[in-house]
């Protein structure tokens, strides 16, 4: 049957599409481990598209602002104003440079303090679907990144690498619904598990109802999950409730502002050889 004929029968086409999806979903759900090749290839290819999109957007933005600025200069024809504008642009550039330097300095301090083998990366894209909390970073397996490596920032834990391609990696943020990390309350050393609930906050589970937990307590990684190094800040206790069960219901406010992630560090040190992070002096 010709393709044109098939398109005249949308019912058949729908049935075929649904069947294809069901087979695809079943294949993945039944698989115990490993990443689908299609997913890796698509992600790797599209990471390049994302990179190109970002570069194009940057170029267009640069051309646009340059053109508008030039027109203003021609229209005003005022040497003093021109000088002032140039100075303002320079000042903004200096500020932006200073901000970036500050970010990088913080990353460097964190790297030295943590004594871990880390690599810095830049966030180049967000999640493709609003239902998932992921970002794409510009470092991949060519920088020895692998699945389940922890991703951190000066403010605290960011997430973990879930899909490395050659020149980019997908990072699952800690606030994703599927994310979890071993955690403890720093003040009382009570252990639990922090999970993402998808709305930007975190929940700490399995903390016994008899444990001493207060609003404002610092929550840090416990290191028992084998992914996140021990002692990194996750967030602070925002709300705690005994509820009906034997466990506390604890809402944790993340330390990291996930809407402003620009640079991150990926921990390449294997879990067995990690030490505890040093407290800042």
Partner 1 sequence: MRTAVALAAILVAIALQTTLATMMFRGGTAIDLVLIVVVYVSIKSGPSTGLLAGTVAGLIQDALSSGILGIGGLAKTVVGFLSGVLGTQFIVTAPLPRFLLLLVATALHAAIFMGLYTLLNLRQFPAPYPSIVGQAFGNAFVGVVGFQLIEWFPGFVDRRRAGRFLKR
Residues lying near partner 1 in the complex (CB under 8 A) are found at 6-8, 10, 13-14, 17-18, 20-22, 24-25, 28-29, 36, 38-39, 42-43, 46, 49-50, 53-54, 57, 123, 125-136, 162-163, 170, 172, 176-178, 197-200, 257-259, 261
> Which 3 state secondary structure label does DSSP give 161?
strand
Q: Which long-range contacts link 233-240 to residues 24+ away (Cβ below 8 Å)?
A: 233/155, 233/156, 233/157, 234/156, 234/157, 234/174, 234/181, 234/183, 234/194, 234/202, 235/156, 235/194, 235/202, 237/185, 237/204, 237/213, 238/201, 239/215, 240/213, 240/214, 240/215
Q: Which is nearer to partner 1, 133 or 274 (CB)?
A: 133
Q: Which is nearer to partner 1, 117 or 249 (CB)?
A: 249
Q: Which is nearer to partner 1, 168 or 185 (CB)?
A: 168
At closest approach, how far in Å is the CB of 258 from partner 1? 5
Q: Which is nearer to partner 1, 13 or 108 (CB)?
A: 13
Helical packing angle, 37-76 and 79-114, nearest 10°: 150
CA-wise closest residue to 50 among 119, 120, 121, 128? 128
Q: Which is nearer to partner 1, 153 or 222 (CB)?
A: 153
At closest approach, how far in Å is the CB of 180 from partner 1? 12
At closest approach, how far in Å is the CB of 226 from partner 1? 19
At closest approach, how far in Å is the CB of 141 from partner 1? 17
Q: Which is nearer to partner 1, 40 or 224 (CB)?
A: 40
At closest approach, how far in Å is the CB of 278 from partner 1? 31
Read off φ and ψ for residue 15, nearest 5 degrees. -60, -40
**Environment class of 90 (CB within 10 Å of its CB; exposed 0-12, middle 13-18, buried 19+):** exposed
At closest approach, how far in Å is the CB of 24 from partner 1? 4
Q: Which is nearer to partner 1, 128 or 276 (CB)?
A: 128
> Which 3 state secondary structure label does DSSP give 152?
strand
Structure tokens at 27: 């294949």
> Kind and range of the H or E element at 250?
strand 249-254
> Kind and range of the H or E element at 83?
helix 79-114
At closest approach, how far in Å is the CB of 195 from partner 1? 10
């Amino acid at each position: 049957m010709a393709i044109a004929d098939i398109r005249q029968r949308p019912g058949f086409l729908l049935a075929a599409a649904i069947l294809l999806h069901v087979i695809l979903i079943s294949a993945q759900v039944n698989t115990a481990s490993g990443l689908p090749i299609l997913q890796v290839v698509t992600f790797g290819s599209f990471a390049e598209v994302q990179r190109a999109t970002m570069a194009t957007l940057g170029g267009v933005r640069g051309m646009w602002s340059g053109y508008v600025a030039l027109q203003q200069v021609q229209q005003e024809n005022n040497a003093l104003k021109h000088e002032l504008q140039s100075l303002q642009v320079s000042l903004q550039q200096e500020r932006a440079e200073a901000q970036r330097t500050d970010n990088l300095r913080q990353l460097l301090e964190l790297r030295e303090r943590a004594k871990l083998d880390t690599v810095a990366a830049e966030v180049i894209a967000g999640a493709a679907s609003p239902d998932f909390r992921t970002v794409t970073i510009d470092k991949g397996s060519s920088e020895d990144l692998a699945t389940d490596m922890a991703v951190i920032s000066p403010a605290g834990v960011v997430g973990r690498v879930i899909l490395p391609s050659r020149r980019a990696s997908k990072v699952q943020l800690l606030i994703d619904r599927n994310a979890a990390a071993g955690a403890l309350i720093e003040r009382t050393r009570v252990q639990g598990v922090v999970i993402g609930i998808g709305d930007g906050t975190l929940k700490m589970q399995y903390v016994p109802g008899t444990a001493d937990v207060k609003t404002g307590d610092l929550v840090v990684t416990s290191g028992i999950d084998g992914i996140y190094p021990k002692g990194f800040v996750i967030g602070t206790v925002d709300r705690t409730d005994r509820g009906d069960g034997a466990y506390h219901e604890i809402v944790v406010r993340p330390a990291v502002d996930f809407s402003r992630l620009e640079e991150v560090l990926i921990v390449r040190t294997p879990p067995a050889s990690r030490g505890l992070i040093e407290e800042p002096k």
